[in-house]
Structure 1
């Protein structure tokens, strides 16, 4: 995989087994709830007993995995993570109420978040560290339709009301031989502000700029459908509504046993899997400099690579590069190192994609530089 940052190639997402993290003391090796591979990786535990964090709900299930590993490997230490939304995560971080913030979008200079974060960090820049990657599914409920293919243009037209029937000729052309019902398409969207909505609309704008003219942001702007709050809400509504379609994190679509559309970026239909999500990250651009690892997701959403599933949500941990007290810095570095080495199989079961060794090294280099 090739991620470009100042001419250097780094990887982002991978499948396959990964090393699990561990804290380095002999007392922690083989702690209950950890694997032998985690015990073989040294992490310097210690410092603050309880870290505090808040923000993105999209990464909450991954945070639960990280918290379990951290508590098992760094005995006597834990993290308290509150899912309250990306905006709250950033505001609580800049107000110095938490140790780090979780967000679906990096700090915004235009909104003054970069300057506020630097002030919170004692005059030092804050870094955006992408730690959690989760695919977004185009999930649907159409009985006996088990192999639906959509592309960016079709998705844009469905979610803006330009296509209203499942047997529309445009959908039929992308699904030759499929039994498409003469049934109304019911769009289900997030009624609350959501990073998932923001990323989905960015995908539509990138993949089908002529078909999606509705704008973007964390509020759904398609102008059609029924709004439901939270990922649970849209997946439940889709499950109970014949003919419904939504966009939702992979884990919610799987848990609700919804149909998941394959996506054709121009090189053939691609099923959503860990491998296809990883493939979409090949060639993605990193816009940040140094240890500020801000991603250019447009280069993912617009991919034409064969076998690549382009709809991916990346969430960041916003941390101070410097400015922490020694105990907080030590504990934060231990936690983030543990999190970066989380189990690939556990993350996949929760609907996420694990970090590969190449990007993990880049991330842990940044983590090690926190002071």
Structure 2
């Protein structure tokens, strides 16, 4: 069938229409799970026949990995033309709630599920997919290579530092000419895994000095500006001279933003890059549920604000839908990984990829 491309790209602004679309029941062929495609290439690997998948899957969630998921959906359509999958980039907070309410078949989230977030413990699995840097992007003409330590970021984002020529910023940038210009802080206005990971980083490096807490939402100071999704924050930065904000690498690159080099745990100033994200992944400890924390990881080449992202999948589906979910996730974790770098995401390390594929096998389809 022909996939409805527009529905994949719809955003949360048209809330009523989005919810109406999400409540449509997914359809699929019947039969046992023996036809579920196995891991590997869809173009010839044993057990991989994605063309047999048919029906619909609906998902929503994190905007952080949206570029990767949309590219993946475009490519997956070529090997599974009769399975229509829509991913609505609503932000992690909304995605978790819609998934928990049964409005979607799976969700994207950059943050972990807490009580009341949506799905109940024991009824879903974390499937890691890719990771990427969260850039600290800024708009300061004449300053091309800004350097910022974690301690200075803490002061900027909770408004202890309000002008670009502050002594603490000068200490990180002794040779730069910094203007006496007000700092405009931009942040996410929606519930966001990007916010969760960025504020977790600030809490790690700031300790007691960071007073705003960490989560999908925090109580930002009143004189800051909020934007919807990563693209909204990018727009504020682009339009406001003197602005600074946090944006995933893919959206920052697409918006032609300039981003700062951030001081890592080893004392090196490192600019956001896939190499820096890959170095952070290598040093992360993976828990039994496959969640992991690459923030402020050690290593001279590590970019310190590297965030993971996950698909939240049910532990149990009916036979048809389960076959579709497992088929897509297996493809995403194998052939789909080849697409990551092209849209500014770091693919999973081999060991984590193997664990993620084993996690998919835990999904029951009956």
Length-normalised TM-score, structure 1:
0.79
Tell me how large the CA RMSD over aligned residues is. Answer: 2.4
Aligned partner of 1:341 in structure 2 is 334
Aligned ranges for residues 22-33 of structure 1 at < 5 Å?
none
Structure 1 residue 226 displacement after superposition:
2.1
- Matched residues, number: 322
Whether the aligned pair in 1 keeps the contact of 2:139 and 2:237 (CA below 8 Å) is: yes
2:187 pairs, out of 186, 189, 201, with: 189
1:305 pairs, out of 285, 299, 308, with: 299
Say which SS state the counterpart of residue 308 (structure 2) adopts: strand
Say which SS state the counterpart of residue 112 (structure 2) adopts: coil
Q: Are 1:51 and 2:65 an aligned pair?
A: no
Aligned partner of 1:111 in structure 2 is 116
Whether the aligned pair in 2 keeps the contact of 1:47 and 1:328 (CA below 8 Å) is: no
Q: Are 1:94 and 2:110 an aligned pair?
A: no
Structure 1 residue 331 displacement after superposition:
1.5
Structure 1 residue 236 displacement after superposition:
1.4
Aligned partner of 1:146 in structure 2 is 144
Whether the aligned pair in 1 keeps the contact of 2:93 and 2:192 (CA below 8 Å) is: no
Say which SS state the counterpart of residue 187 (structure 1) adopts: strand
Aligned partner of 1:21 in structure 2 is none
Whether the aligned pair in 1 keeps the contact of 2:59 and 2:104 (CA below 8 Å) is: yes
Aligned partner of 2:14 in structure 1 is none
Distance 1:344 1:370 in 2: 21
Spell out, residue by residue over 1:17-51, the C-alpha distance to the aligned partner (whole angstroms, 9 max, x if none): xxxxxxxxxxx9xxxxxxx9763544243344222
Structure 1 residue 159 displacement after superposition:
0.7
Q: Are 1:77 and 2:71 an aligned pair?
A: no
Aligned partner of 1:39 in structure 2 is 43
Aligned partner of 2:255 in structure 1 is 256
Say which SS state the counterpart of residue 252 (structure 2) adopts: helix
Spell out, residue by residue over 1:155-187, the C-alpha distance to the aligned partner (whole angstroms, 9 max, x if none): 001111111222222212212212222222111
Distance 1:87 1:182 in 2: 37
Unaligned runs of 5+ in 2: 1-36
Spell out, residue by residue over 1:298-319, the C-alpha distance to the aligned partner (whole angstroms, 9 max, x if none): xx22323211102123222111
Aligned partner of 2:277 in structure 1 is 277
Aligned partner of 2:10 in structure 1 is none
Structure 1 residue 220 displacement after superposition:
3.8
Distance 2:255 2:66 in 1: 18
Whether the aligned pair in 2 keeps the contact of 1:267 and 1:304 (CA below 8 Å) is: no
Distance 1:172 1:41 in 2: 56
Unaligned runs of 5+ in 1: 1-27, 29-35, 119-124
Structure 1 residue 76 displacement after superposition:
1.8
Q: Which moved more, 1:344-353 or 1:133-142?
A: 344-353
Structure 1 residue 97 displacement after superposition:
3.1
Length-normalised TM-score, structure 2:
0.80
Spell out, residue by residue over 1:232-287, the C-alpha distance to the aligned partner (whole angstroms, 9 max, x if none): 22211211211111111112221222211111124311121101011112221223
Distance 1:66 1:91 in 2: 24
Aligned partner of 1:212 in structure 2 is 210
Structure 1 residue 128 displacement after superposition:
1.1
Aligned partner of 2:233 in structure 1 is 234
Say which SS state the counterpart of residue 231 (structure 1) adopts: helix
